Chain A
């Protein structure tokens, strides 16, 4: 049973527009969430995180929203740039846990 689900395997967005990547989780013990970005032939790179005590965290063009009641989080990228084209992974973690549980990823393509 997948505890972290990214139901869209791919997403295409025009340059300059907003990209919205979604993530759902089932484990109610998760209270910290991270987004990673992965380019081909590279390891995942940490992008942004959010603790469950918040519902929004912003870093430049990237904003993560958390809806605990819906067990849903989303990553907004605005404006989208061609360099944002990559696979984005959502991950959840519980308090005191070593383990990050990852989703399968969403491949974002930003079209110039």
Chain B
């Protein structure tokens, strides 16, 4: 595997279900990101992890819970979601994220298309 992979690619869940999205990067990067892309909206940053530490949480509801066990893996745990949470969830990674670092291009996975019924 190369680049950034995400599983599952598609997920349909009810509002009472609990599910997890998985992301893995094979680029040796140290920063990982979760984005949400809703229809006709720009990509919205949700979370940033830098060396496994969460460094950004863009006012995301607690029904989204990220987990980063190491620099290569990132999870997004979902519980009691709402239909308006249906969107494309994209994972990205970059070399490093931080004030001391030069700009890093972010590399994206293919996304998980989530539908909440």
Contact = CB atoms under 8 A, between A and B. Distances in A.
Tell whether A and B belong to one assembly: yes
Interface of A: 2, 4, 32, 34, 36, 41-46, 49, 51, 89, 93, 95-105
Given A99-B45, A104-B42, A43 B111 contact: yes
A34 B43 CA distance: 14
Interface of B: 4, 6, 9, 31, 33, 40-43, 45, 48, 50, 55-56, 90-92, 97-100, 103, 105-111
A46 B103 contact: no
A96 B110 contact: no
A43 B103 contact: no
A98 B50 contact: yes
Contact of A44 (B48, B55, B90): B90
Contacts of A2: 42
Contact of A100 (B45, B98, B110): B45
A104 B98 CA distance: 25
A44 B106 CA distance: 9
A98 B31 contact: yes
B22 to A, nearest CB: 14
A103 B42 contact: yes
A101 B44 CA distance: 8
Closest 6 CB pairs of A and B: A43-B108, A96-B99, A98-B97, A102-B43, A102-B42, A32-B103
Contact of A34 (B55, B100, B105): B105
